[in-house]
Amino acid sequence: MTDENIEGKRNKLKAENAEGHFPEDPGFNPKPAFRFQPSNTETQTENMEVHKHPHHVTHRKKWGEYLLEFLMLFLAVFLGFIAENFREHYIEHKREKQFARQLLNDLRKDSVFFSERQKAFDSIFAKEKMIRQLLAHGDISDKNLIEGFTQVFRNFDVNLTNTTFSQMKTSGSLRYIVNTNLTAELQKYYDVMCQEVLEECMVSREYLKDYMLPFYLKHVKAQDIDLINGMFIKSSPAILNRTPESDQELLNITEMYRVVNLGISEQTNKPAAKQANTLIGMIKKEYHLE
């Protein structure tokens, strides 16, 4: 069979196959060609209307939705800021009151100190106990003269409590005190008045060291008296090298020491004590403390 016959037969078979006719060759029994039929479900899917979910990536929001989200975000941030501000205010007020209590305790200690110091000055430097009055009575024994000297031969240290204020000042906690007038009065008391009290105390101490102590070392027997307890060891103590000039020297020294200390009391101690009591009243009123 030639190539042309073979090609012609192929074309004839193709044509009959396309028309659904097959040759009556008993040895040739091809299966019917499979044709895809769309299912009912797919057809219905194609006919369904497609609805987009609001949260779908391709969903376009309206301007109202953007405005609502912005307002909700703004409200959340604003409320968070208010809550944080309230919390900080509460903590600062709590700390402020705690510092106020501590300041009140310190000022009360200072008030007691100034009160006791003034009582000591009034007792020690009482005129009737001073050597001036003793010498005015004429002849005075060594024992009475030494007793008058040791009465004023004392060192007056200052014991003020500024622990809380120093802590607040160093740490910047003075800002917790909202009342600016109270802050100013505290600074006036601690930074100015208490410093003046300390400086004047040094003046008194230097006078004691420069004048009172040398007289004691030169004219008093240490074995005759107990300075710490203010007692006589011997019943008849004696003044060494006593002369009218030494009596006058002792009078001058003790009188000047009295003037120095009473001047300190009037110029620094009493004003500081008054300021401490004023601050106690201000703090109790400001923070409702007792």
pLDDT in tens, 63-115: 777 787 878 888 778 777 676 666 666 566 678 889 999 999 999 999 999 99
Asked if the structure places residue 9 within a domain, the reply is no
Asked if the structure places residue 39 within a domain, the reply is no
Q: Which region among 7-21, 80-94, 136-150, 267-281 has the lowest average model confidence (pLDDT)?
A: 7-21
State the pLDDT at residue 251. 92
Indicate if the pLDDT at residue 6 is higher than 90: no
Asked if the structure places residue 6 within a domain, the reply is no
State the pLDDT at residue 22. 47
Indicate if the pLDDT at residue 230 is higher than 70: yes
Any idea what the Cα angle at residue 45 is, between residues 44 and 50, rounded to 5°? 125
State the pLDDT at residue 19. 52
Q: Which residue has the higher pLDDT, 31 or 234?
A: 234
Asked if the structure places residue 228 within a domain, the reply is yes
Mean pLDDT over 177-200 rounds to: 96
Comparing CA positions, the residue from 104, 105, 151, 154 lying closest to residue 130 is 151
Number of domains, the chain: 1
Q: What is the pLDDT of residues 191-215, one digit of tens each?
A: 999 999 999 999 999 999 999 999 9
Asked if the structure places residue 134 within a domain, the reply is yes
Q: What is the pLDDT of residues 13-59, one digit of tens each?
A: 666 555 555 454 555 455 554 454 555 555 555 555 555 555 555 55
Q: Which residue has the higher pLDDT, 62 or 242?
A: 242
State the pLDDT at residue 66. 76
Asked if the structure places residue 51 within a domain, the reply is no
Angle, in degrees to the nearest 10, between helices 270-287 and 194-207: 150
What's the whole-model pTM score?
Answer: 0.68
Q: What is the mean pLDDT of the chain?
A: 82
Asked if the structure places residue 137 within a domain, the reply is yes
State the pLDDT at residue 34. 47
Range of the domain at 91: 78-287
Band the pLDDT of 130: cuts 50, 70, 90.
confident
Other Cβ atoms within 10 Å of 93 Cβ, number: 13
Indicate if the pLDDT at residue 271 is higher than 60: yes
Asked if the structure places residue 94 within a domain, the reply is yes
